[in-house]
Amino acid sequence: MRETAIAALHSRLASFLASRNPAPLVLRGETVPQRLPPGGLVVIRDGETVEETAILSPLAWAIEHRAEVEVTAGGATPAARTALLDALLVDIAAAITADRTLGGGAEWAQPGAPDFEDVEFEGAAAARAASVPVALFFTVAGSPLA
């Protein structure tokens, strides 16, 4: 279920953000490319399980898994970078909150508050980045490894 939930998050963000012009590059678990695309870069990281709660009779586990969505935006000026990053963050929140089950991949998805930083790409202007935790809730039968 963990893989299903993370794959559903990736699919949801990729399809929702594809309508932007220019569209950001949406990746999962990959290294950051050398060149930042004009529409920005979104990388979904698998993250970690933060809570496992046993449910008895029949045995099941309520899981809270926290994936990370890294968003990077470039631009000629700090204002342009900030504007693109903010627009991407708003669209990511909208994509998740429009369908909290991510098309059935999770029982509930909840984006958290972003952490911001300025980053540099070799031979390019600085970029603005944010890391957004996304809590994915789901239930598995028998074992937290299921």
Average pLDDT of each block of 10 consecutive residues along the chain (146 residues)?
Answer: 94 96 93 84 94 89 95 89 95 96 96 91 79 96 78
CB atoms closer than 10 angstroms to residue 30? 10
d(CA 72, CA 119): 8
The pLDDT assigned to 89 comes to 97
Task: Give strand pairing partners of 110.
Answer: 135
Which of 116-120's residues contact partners 24+ apart within 8 Å by CB, and which partners? 116/85, 119/72
- The residues near 3 (Cβ < 8 Å, ≥ 6 apart) are none
The pLDDT assigned to 104 comes to 95
Task: Give strand pairing partners of 43.
Answer: 27, 70
Query: Structure pTM?
Result: 0.91
The pLDDT assigned to 42 comes to 96
User: Sign of the CA dihedral 27, 20, 113, 78?
Assistant: positive
The pLDDT assigned to 124 comes to 65
